[in-house]
Structures are given as structure tokens and as C-alpha cells.
Amino acid sequence: MLSGLRYCPQKLRPGDNVTPHDITSVCPRGPKRTPRPPLPQINRTHPRPNFLYNLTFPTSKMSVFRPSAHALITGGASGVGYAVAQLCLKHSMCVSIVDFSQSSLDHARKHLSGNIRYIQADVSSRSDWASIRQQVGHDVDFLMLNAGIGGKGTWSDEDYFDKILATNLGGVVNGLNAYVPSLRERAEKDEKGEARTAIVITGSKQGITNPPGNPAYNASKAAVKTLAEHLSYDLKDTGVGVHLLVPGWTFTGLVSSPSIFVFA
């Protein structure tokens, strides 16, 4: 029974050695227990991706956030993706924004300025990704796979599972398949390490803590966490950085209408 347990969040800081116990744990009611000693550092053969705690990345000549570098952001016309697009533009980057919602793209076009390309596409469609590659090209320095949807459904609701998994998981798989080969090839040719590149996948705390009430969404975000970990290992010897962004509660279109499918 869980009635005798209470939630004990751990305070994390950038750079901490994050484990599932650190992210969330439960402890019995009663006097506060003595914190357990820190875990020893372990040389992992399977490195975990970097967890980003904010969107203020360090800048330098080696940073992916540099003038004329090319960013491709899915779900970039609103919410977290829009904020990252603004950050990229502040660093004089070329930005390609992909979004399913034409109204969101129109809003972004009205309020953003700089070297920007707007593409209306469904990230769950492989043919749409072929069109994205044709318009954007192969040379992407910063790939952010952020597009996702939320919705409410339950068991036997096939449409609920199909839509969420196709976008939140399939959209990430399609994006990685479209651009990881070219990112790896460029990194292998860059012997001096001058062309810094990075991949960011937007996850969710729900993919780690798995709260009840939204199985399809939780499963999709748990799956992209696994993909990020595997990709981090596959690219560990290249100059391609792999990051899993696990934002805290962020009020976007994805959470403003919980009873319907919302693209973000």
C-alpha cells in the first residue's frame, strides 16, 4: 500500500550524477531520515546523455550556438521549441522551424526575425521528412526533436495510442534516421573538431516517474529517453553531442487543453 508513503523530491543541480533514485523516491512517514551518502563515481561503459536543466547554453568558438550554424527545430513554432528558436536567432544562427500547425507557423513568422525557414509538416510521416531534408539540406549543426502531442485516452482507445506514439516516438525516430547519418559523417571528416554539432530530444519527467492517467504519453517519453541513451553511446566517439531535455512543468499549448490532442 502507498497510503503510508510520501513523496520526497531530491534537489538536483547541473552536473549531478543523476540516477532514478535522485529524480524521485518515496520514504515512510515520520522523522526525516539521514540523507544517504553519495554514490561512488562509476566508469560506465554505456554513457548516459546530458540532462539539460535550462536553455542557457555556454557559448564559445566550439559551441553549436555560433553565427551561421544551422538549427532544425521540430515543434518550433510554439512552446519550448519557439523559445529555443529565439535563443538560436540571438546567436545569429540560421533556423529552420518545422511545425504541424499552420496558425502557429504564421504567428512565429509574424514575431520572429532573422534567417528563418518555415516548414509545415507532420513529423510522424516519413515522406514529410524526405521533403524536410530536400528543403533544409543535409548540413544541420543543431537538431532539436521537440514536436509532440498530448491527449487523454484509455485502454481500447486505439486512436489515442496511435496518434501519440506516432508523433512523440515516431517523429523522433524519423528525425534521427533522417539526420544522424549525415551528422556522424560530418563529425568523422572534422578531424580538428571545429564543427561542433548537437542533437537535443525533448523528453518529459513523465517518461521517468510514470504517473498514472496517461499511459500513451508516458510510454512515448520513456521510449525517447531510451533512444537518447542508446544514441549517446553510438555517438560517444564523435563530436556530436546528444542531450535529453527534461523540462519542468511548462505551460504551453500541450497542457492548456488536456482533453484534446494538441500539437507542440
- Residue 188 has φ and ψ, to the nearest 5°, of -70, -30
The strand pairing partners of 144, in sequence order, are 73, 200
pLDDT in tens, 205-251: 999 999 999 999 999 999 999 999 999 999 998 989 999 999 876 65
Per-residue cell: 220: 512515448
CB 116 within 8 A of CB 93: no
Q: Which CATH number fits domain 51-263: 3.40.50.10680, 3.30.420.340, 3.40.50.720, 3.40.50.261?
A: 3.40.50.720
Within 10 angstroms of residue 94's Cβ, the number of other Cβ atoms is 21
- Do residues 142 and 153 make contact, with C-beta atoms less than 8 angstroms apart? no
26-71 per-position pLDDT tens digit: 334 444 555 655 544 433 343 444 444 333 344 444 589 999 999 9
pTM given for the model = 0.74
Residue 196: per-residue pLDDT: 86
| C-beta of residue 81 within 8 angstroms of C-beta of residue 264 | yes
The yes-or-no verdict on residue 174 having pLDDT over 70 is: yes
The whole-number pLDDT of residue 47 equals 41
- CA-based R_g, the chain, Å: 19
pLDDT of residue 65: 93
pLDDT of residue 50: 42
Does 79 score more than 50 pLDDT? yes
Q: How confident is the model at residue 21 (pLDDT cuts 50, 70, 90)?
A: very low
Provide the 3-class DSSP secondary structure of residue 178.
helix
Which parts of 103-161 are beta strand (E)? 116-120, 142-145, 149-150
